[in-house]
Structure formats: C-alpha cells, structure tokens
Structure 1
C-alpha cells in the first residue's frame, strides 16, 4: 500500500506517530477532510490564512523589500500586531544583515525507501553557525518540552546536517553548528531555542530510519489508543471517535502542518543516493 508514497515530512511522520490510521487516511488514501479540526471553524480558518500570509510578509522582507513597504500589506488586526512584533523583536535584530539567508528553502535526503523532505521558513548562516527559524502564530505559547519532542524539531535539525552542505560551501554542517528557533508572533520575547549535539543527531537519524522502515513494511495502520487526539482529527468520523471538534487554540498545536507544496527534486537541496 505504501508503494505509492514517495516522500515523508515532519507532518506525515507526526501523523503516523500520533495515529497510524490518520496517516493512512491522509497520505495513502488521500481522503478528503470530512470534519472540521476545531471550533469555531470559520474563526480558525481565518487565523490559519492570516498565519500563512504572515509567513509571506516575512519572506518578502527577508529577500530585501523594506519593512515599511511590506508592513502596508498587514491589513488585519492580527497581521498588524504580528508584523509590529516581528519588526521590533530584539532576537531578530540584524537578521537581514547576514549574507546567508535562505527563506522558504526546501531540503531533501534519502530515508530508507522514501525521501525525507522539509520546507524551512528560514535558514540563517553566519559566524560559522546555521540557525533554523520557524515562525509560529499560535494563540498559546507551547511548552519547550512539547516542542523538543515534536518531529519538526527532530527532522529540521537532522535534515540540515544530512542535506545542507550546499549552503555551507560544500561542507556538511556539524550538529554543534546548528540551532533551531521557534519564534512566536504573539509572544515575541519568548522564542524557543534548541541547540544540537552529535549524540542527538545520531539518535534522531536512527529514529527516522526506524520509523521510515516501519511505515514501508506496514500492512496495518491501527487507530491511536489516545482518544484525546481525536478531538482535533478531521477523520474522526471515519473512526466513530466523536463529532464535536476541539478548541481551536489547543487544536493548532496538535494539527499544525507545514505548507503544502509541490515537490520538484531538481530544484531542492539534497544529497545523492
């Protein structure tokens, strides 16, 4: 069944880890979403759209468009607040002065029978260091412990070691050169920072190989035993796991996915098979 599945991402891995059945329905059967993920639905949809638009505003600024010009496009209360927080954030001061800024860059590397793919909001390179920035528009500031064990944190750092050499003059980054920063648009003074070490990288990559092999050989995709996750799952009606959606602020932590994108492996950084 998984023969048609060619790539894995942090989102698909998180789905498989949280609930193999959700992974099967979303990535193998490609079923349409029969239920809303959270309530109130329209408000949450608007928030998600604003979050995507905020990412576009930051990208425009990072490629050289003046902040004053980009800021004129922040045309909702949320966007105006997030943009002002971004422009005034001390942690981001001087970011655009670095010579090595790679916004919205995609990296790829072989992983078992699949390719592991990740799209980064920003990789900033300078002072013999690579910092991964990920912009979050969460309504709640998640705990660092929650973020540390998420597949996004593990995938993004490990994949940069595996496939980031072309961003570093052809020399692979060592784990110790990498840091990942989650920057929260509504909590601009509380970024979450995760440095990396060689033993963490080995543990992460071994875990990625193991889960990829497990997915490749899987013949059954059971439902999760943790029914609390079903409140935020758009496929819960398939499993008779409830009708009412969960609260939007909690749901976005459980269901956040990277932007959907078409994969063109000729245009993204990768390592050879």
Structure 2
C-alpha cells in the first residue's frame, strides 16, 4: 500500500522544483516523492563546491566580515571576487539611503504552496529594486532561455507581490563571474504584462501539481511523462527507470549526468 504523502516536501516550492515540474512531471515525482538522486560527476561536484564557496565569500563581504581566511588558499577565488567587484563598482558602493541584504529570503503563499526565493543580493531604494544573482557557470548563448527560466520569473514575481514596488520598478541581473576577459551580466527588466503572464502560468502549473498529487496519493497514478519526441529523455538519469531507453530505441551508453545550469544553488 502506498504511504499517503501529506505534502511536507511540497509545502515549500523553489524555482528549481518549478523548472523540473514544468519540464518533466515524472522526474519531479522521482526526485521529490521517491527521494531518488541524480548522479553528479566529480568535476561537477567540484564546480558545485566552488560555487558554494564563492557565494559564501560574497555574503561575508557584504556583511563587512573578513574573507581572507576563505580565499587565502584559493587564488582563483580571490581573482574572481576581485574581478566581479571591479566590473560592477556601482552595486558594491554602499549608500545609507538604500536597503541591502545578501542571501535575502522571501516567501509567498500561492494556492497552498509556499513559494520560496533567495536573492544573492537585494538592493532597494525609494524608486527601484534590484535582484542580483551570481552565476559560476558560463553565460548561456541565448538570453531568452534564461528569461523563461523559473528562477528569473519567480524571483521577479515574488518581489513584486511582497513589496510596494510596481513591476516596472524591479529588475534582475545575473552576473556570470567566470566570463572572459571579465565578468559579464544579463539584466531582465519587468513590467505588468510579464507579471500577469507569470501569475497565469504559475496558477496553471500549481493547479496541475495539485491534481497530479491527489491522483498519486489516492489512486497511485504516477505523474505524467513527457512525450518521447521531445528528446529530453536521452540524457536523463531516469531514462531506464521510465523505460525510455527502450521506447526511444537508444543504444549504448549515454551521458546522463546533470547539467550544471539545471542545479539549483544552495543557499548559504
């Protein structure tokens, strides 16, 4: 008999979970209900560890705490922190008239789900609010991909819903710290039209989640799979479990390690 899930895991939903849910509901089931992990190569694990250290250094720096002990044995880490500060002096110049906070967490209750965001750095003044996010993977070739990612959409949406700022007064900037020859940025502005579109898409996605969850709990019906024709199963670590290797006629070993850009960064 299937143990009924009272949804403690789903009470809180992050952008990473929304991305997986939208891209493949069955994968969402495997990870968050069945607690199945996805393989990470040693190289990817090293990258994740370095990214966590970079975020910690940036948080410590913003708090005015010493960072020497964190960077003394990693000259590259010090190099990238310095490069980022030099590339964006305006956002690192503190002004007593602004509110600033690193690792700023906000939550928003929507349809019974607690949507949670953590901003690497939030800067607010009387007229504008900026969300800053540090990325330690290469800048994507198409900015449209990042514009549609739930991190961008959810981060902007939650800030607009939980403050008095109009959508037009809010922006989000990603800084790709390892870009050459210096860190590069992508800034996404916001407006009321985008805000309403996100509201509608979020409502539809959460409604489907509620339906799939009820069917899974009470009728043991698995979350739906995406069509084989999408070709997303080729590099998925659950392809065998979902019997997609057979359905797709795939032969030989495939690379089923996760993509770094799909990993949700862990808050400090």
TM range (shorter): 0.7 to 0.9
The answer for unaligned runs of 5 or more in structure 1 is 166-171, 262-273
Bigger CA drift: 201-210 or 93-102?
93-102
The structure showing larger relative contact order (alpha-carbon pairs under 8 Å, at least 6 residues apart) is: 1
Report how far residue 189 of structure 1 moved.
Answer: 4.2
After superposition, the Cα gap between the structure-2 partners of 1:101 and 1:234, relative to the gap in structure 1 and judged at 3 Å, is farther
Q: For 1:124-158, what per-residue CA distance to the aligned partner results, in whole angstroms no more than 9, with x for missing partners?
A: 11251100001000035442111001011100000
Bigger CA drift: 209-218 or 183-192?
183-192
Question: What is the TM-score when the length of structure 2 is the normalising length?
Answer: 0.81
After superposition, the CA RMSD in angstroms is 2.3
Q: For 1:192-241, what per-residue CA distance to the aligned partner results, in whole angstroms no more than 9, with x for missing partners?
A: 1000001111111121111111101113412223333551x443342244
CA distance, structure 2, for counterparts of residue 147 and residue 8 of structure 1: 19
Question: Counterparts of 1:1-273 in structure 2 under 5 Å?
Answer: 3-4=6-7, 5-31=10-36, 33=37, 35-37=38-40, 41-65=41-65, 69-71=66-68, 73-74=70-71, 75-76=73-74, 78-89=76-87, 91-98=88-95, 99-126=98-125, 128-163=127-162, 165=163, 172-187=164-179, 188-218=182-212, 219=215, 220-225=222-227, 226-228=230-232, 230-231=234-235, 233-241=236-244, 244-245=254-255, 251-253=259-261, 255-259=262-266
The answer for unaligned runs of 5 or more in structure 2 is 216-221, 246-252
Which is higher, the Rg of structure 1 or of structure 2? 2
Runs of 4+ in 1 over 6 A off after TM superposition: none
Report how far residue 113 of structure 1 moved.
Answer: 2.3
Matched residue SS, 1:148: helix
CA contact (8 A) 1:120 1:133 kept: yes
